[in-house]
Structure 1
Amino acid sequence: EEVENEDGDTIWASRLHHDWQREGSAIGYYAPNAAPMVDRGNTLILSHTNLVNSEITDKRLEDDVLFEVTWEGDITWTWRASDHVEEFGFSDAERNALHRSVQWNEARESADWLHINAASYIGPNRWYDDGDERFNPQNIIWSSREANIIAIIDRQGSVVWRMGPDYRTDPALRELGQIIGQHNPHIIPKGLPGAGNLLVFDNGGEAGYGTPNPAAPEGRGTVRRINSRVLEINPVTFEKVWEYTMTATERHRFFSHYVSNVQRLPNGNTMITEGADGRIFEITAESEIVWEYVNPFFGDDPDTHRIYRAHRVPYDWIPQVPQPVEQRVTPPDLSDFRIPPDAAN
């Protein structure tokens, strides 16, 4: 679309936000035989555009748009979220709340009604190999943080698969539990343990539209939870294959109500970015933490050490950097860990 740059000139540009994918890699992190193209190839871009759609709300929308663009800059495919609102599974109460109380952003003079925060290709997978067209490798999976929706769209733009917004409407989804404000849902690529399953960082916090209640008097942010989960889900049956979270009495110890992501590693472990606290850690299938990093860099604001997304990449993806000698890390014996009495000084 036409936008005004810092010099006041009108230029043709995309208002890219949150996500993009390069041809050759469905999700952008390492999988065998699936490296993103660094020369030529198409790019999937998640972007914004402003418009008015009175079927959604009378307010000016900050709508989410997907583009597929060639190396030369030609747009070959476009999808606009507001054109498909009838396919998102909203109830009458949810549509009513969306129309009345969608959150207005004064700075951007628009309402971010869906807040799509992730978009990636499905990629080669066993479901499509078995004849399930919903999982065509070229189809696209996206995530709406504001509405608690995860959906797959085909190349004609239709929603062919969906979870949410209300997880009470299906017995299998009820068993799974309400997903809230999620980030980075994707199909685990072929060649990695769990290939074909859906992996998602279920943030918790508050999100969703619906009937007003004492905690959400305007009908926005109607479902809430004060802990996060990482879920691996069979996308055909909605069965929960694996989960990482804290016990009921320690839920606060794993909670990022915004940002964050998750990656399946070749060794079967999972790398989790608990973004609000700037924490990245690797766990086994048994939830044992085997590697951990906490971002030590802060700016003037306490929130500035947060991390939106992190991926572990092979050394040969960064050929400019010499490959280091890897050394085994021995966890410290916490029984011997002491803080000096004058540590506060």
Structure 2
Amino acid sequence: MSIALTRRGFAGGLVGMAGLAAAPGWAAPTVFPTGTTIFDPAKTWSGFTVLSLLDTRAVVVLDMNGRTVKRWDDFDVFSGGPARVLPGGIVVAPQGAVQGHLEANALVARDFDGKELWRRDDTTTIERDGKAVPSARQHHDWQLDSFPAGYYSPGVAPSLEGSRKLLLTHESAKNPAIADVILDDDRLIVLGPDGKLEWEWQASKHIDALGFGAPARAAIRRLAARDNFDWFHINAATWLGPNKWFDTGDDRFDPGNVIISSRATSIIAIVRPSGEIAWQIGPDFGASPELMKIGQIIGQHHAHLIPKGLPGAGNLLVFDNGGYSGYGDVSGTSARGDSIYQRAGSRVLEIDPVSLELVWSYSAPNFYSFNISGAQRLPNGNTLITEGAPGRIFEVTAEKDIVWEFMNPPGEGPRHSNTVYRAYRIPYGWMPQVAPPAEVPIVAPEGGTFHVPGTPG
């Protein structure tokens, strides 16, 4: 079995692989297997896997056996994430960190050989050396209307040319209804094919519609005393795209509406171009019997509708991190009224957004990423899961069997972290410059039988 052993000198998240002992973040081993650790070619949906890395200034593409087949340097996923690869081997990713903020100066596209094709770095301004200079202030997500969920589905043909573009950005804002100081506010901007602004939505202007109670409003005001408080923290924003709900007359699911995920508040909502909130779940998942069956969603990432043409199309897919989120009453576990929801464990949820039925879910002992992460539905019905904090990416069947797993090695940055913001699987044909590789099955050893050389078996 071709598995590299890696040594690290930092505390990470879970570092186990299926069938082997897993350890929580406070007891992470310094030596652990990296690379592809499980691969069953007969059961996977094979292709290239695109990694958005947090501690390496590059976008990396892997084959199913974990070999790096392409790398583009000088990108900053840590600031703006995620990276995506479009047909023809075109990469789009953030570049240039804005100091003191979790955001990027620019969103940039390059061809396979690294030639810059497109750049957007002027949707707002930041202060630098006492002067206002252009910046995108892009963070966490972006989309093309020709690629609404940001990953492959049959018949999709994403292209930069002629596409409208959705950018999730920051704007410095002061709203007395929230706090009397400047906040880092989330701003959605939609740019037409000509690059001109078509519409925008700013979170702070809709606080009354989001349903916060008095204790939550008080907690936000209390916490806003911090400079540039990221009060709402949207970490995903995607167009709904074509879907069965709109096709049958439910205009809440207009393909041009945008679904957002607010990590700080446990809210998932759909926003119309008019600014109206068309649909929402959270923050309180005890508010109805249907929501109670789902259970409290906490600190979630990558909320989106599964695209047309894939199993489960139209359902909401979300990585429910656990960890902590939510605003409310001060208590013994929340001295400031934040992080009122807490859970040490993650779930991937597939939810019917109309009935709120929990259609499918994945969880497992020690499955936990308190931040980042995501999930992609694949054409064969499998789900590619990014368990980001521990740097683990794996593919599961509908029956929840793991058929592919990759452990990311430590990064090149000062933290030597192996964290992965998000990963996407693309067809081999989307990078025609690279021949489809040979696929070699990898069978994980039984638990308790995997040892470093020299260790008694």
CA contact (8 A) 1:103 1:113 kept: no
CA contact (8 A) 1:118 1:185 kept: yes
Per-residue deviation, residues 137-176 of structure 1 (Å, max 9, x unmatched): 1100000000110000112110010010111112211111
Show the counterpart of 2:283. 165
**Farther off after superposition, 223-232 or 68-77:** 68-77
Q: CA deviation at 1:181?
A: 0.4
Please tell me whether residue 83 in structure 1 is matched to residue 205 in structure 2.
yes
List aligned pairs for 1:95-114, cutoff 5 A.
95-102=217-224, 104=226, 109-114=227-232
Please tell me whether residue 141 in structure 1 is matched to residue 254 in structure 2.
no
State the TM-score, normalized to the length of structure 2.
0.70
Please tell me whether residue 156 in structure 1 is matched to residue 274 in structure 2.
yes
Show the counterpart of 1:236. 354
CA distance in 2, matches of 1:226, 1:305: 20
CA distance in 1, matches of 2:416, 2:369: 12
Show the counterpart of 1:271. 384
Report sequence identity in percent. 47
Residues 294 and 330 of structure 1: is their aligned pair in 2 closer, same or farther, counting only changes over 3 Å?
closer
Please tell me whether residue 282 in structure 1 is matched to residue 395 in structure 2.
yes
Structure 2 residue corresponding to 1:174, chosen from 287, 292, 313:
292
CA distance in 1, matches of 2:452, 2:125: 60
State the TM-score, normalized to the length of structure 1.
0.91
CA distance in 1, matches of 2:348, 2:187: 27
Q: CA deviation at 1:331?
A: 1.5
CA distance in 2, matches of 1:331, 1:35: 35
CA contact (8 A) 1:276 1:303 kept: no
Show the counterpart of 2:341. 223
Q: CA deviation at 1:332?
A: 3.6
Q: Which 4+ stretches in 1 moved above 6 angstroms?
A: none
Per-residue deviation, residues 196-248 of structure 1 (Å, max 9, x unmatched): 100000000011000111111110111100000000000001110011012xx
Structure 1 residue corresponding to 2:188, chosen from 54, 66, 76:
66
Higher relative contact order (CA 8 A, sep 6+): 2
Residues 326 and 3 of structure 1: is their aligned pair in 2 closer, same or farther, counting only changes over 3 Å?
same
CA distance in 1, matches of 2:160, 2:343: 40
Q: CA deviation at 1:298?
A: 3.0
The alignment yields a C-alpha RMSD, in angstroms, of: 1.9
Counterpart of 1:59 in 2: which secondary structure?
coil
Residues 243 and 103 of structure 1: is their aligned pair in 2 closer, same or farther, counting only changes over 3 Å?
farther
CA distance in 1, matches of 2:299, 2:332: 20
CA distance in 2, matches of 1:199, 1:326: 29
CA distance in 2, matches of 1:341, 1:280: 26
Show the counterpart of 1:3. 126
Counterpart of 2:261 in 1: which secondary structure?
strand
CA distance in 2, matches of 1:71, 1:77: 13
Q: Name the aligned partner's letter for residue 140 of structure 2.
A: H
Counterpart of 1:215 in 2: which secondary structure?
coil
Structure 2 residue corresponding to 1:331, chosen from 432, 435, 443:
443
CA distance in 1, matches of 2:186, 2:341: 23
Show the counterpart of 2:175. 53
Q: Name the aligned partner's letter for residue 454 of structure 2.
A: D
CA distance in 1, matches of 2:297, 2:147: 26
CA distance in 2, matches of 1:8, 1:101: 27
Q: CA deviation at 1:94?
A: 1.1
Structure 1 residue corresponding to 2:420, chosen from 283, 300, 307:
307
List aligned pairs for 1:121-140, cutoff 5 A.
121-140=239-258
Per-residue deviation, residues 296-317 of structure 1 (Å, max 9, x unmatched): 1334655621000110011222
Q: Name the aligned partner's letter for residue 85 of structure 1.
A: I
More helix by share: 1
Show the counterpart of 2:90. none
